Amino acid sequence: MRFAVVVGCMVCLASTGCNKFAGEWLEEGKMTRSGEYVRTEGPRRMALKFEPVATVRSGAYVDGPGVVDVQVTSADTYFTMQHGNVAQFGATIAKVRGDRLTTWVGAEETRQFVRHRGASMFPPQVVIPSLESAAGGG
């Protein structure tokens, strides 16, 4: 019995707690082709959310309300390499250094993210339709 509890805890830690990518990330800048770092400005920035066991969600973060637009989100699976230091999802490769995440597409560095702390910026994965609109409005 005790062995089963220990194994269960180890599986939980391996799938969630030890993942350096877990959590939410907000774009803060990118490298230009000439090697110059440029802060990302404007009303929409990219946001990432790594969820257990191997799902990454991405979306457009809207500065005003401070949330990710539900209409502009997608999900993919990811896997880690190099002892959990590098992740790949689709054509994107990501590496974490402390509270910073850098992405590459091919050999070209594309974006830099900072870890988001606090309330979630992402909408729930399942949105329950309003009962009012289902009743026909009248």
Mean pLDDT of 68-94: 94
Mean pLDDT, the chain, as a whole number? 83
Pairwise CA distance, residues 103 & 122, whole Å: 20
Tell me: pLDDT of 126 over 80.
no
**3 state DSSP class of 8:** helix
Mean pLDDT of 100-105: 94
- 2-116 fold: Lipocalin (2.40.128)
Q: DSSP H helical segments within the chain, as ranges? A: 2-12, 131-134
Looking at residue 133, its pLDDT comes to: 57
**3 state DSSP class of 14:** helix
pTM over 0.85: no
Q: Which residue has the higher pLDDT, 133 or 28?
A: 28
Pairwise CA distance, residues 119 & 68, whole Å: 12
Reported for 103-111, long-range contacts at CB under 8 A and 24+ positions apart, including other chains, are 108/33, 109/30, 109/31, 110/30, 110/31, 111/27, 111/29, 111/30, 111/40, 111/46
Mean pLDDT of 99-127: 90
Note the pLDDT tens digit of each residue in 11-54.
Answer: 444 444 458 999 999 999 988 888 888 998 877 899 999 998 89
| Structural domain boundaries in the chain | 2-116
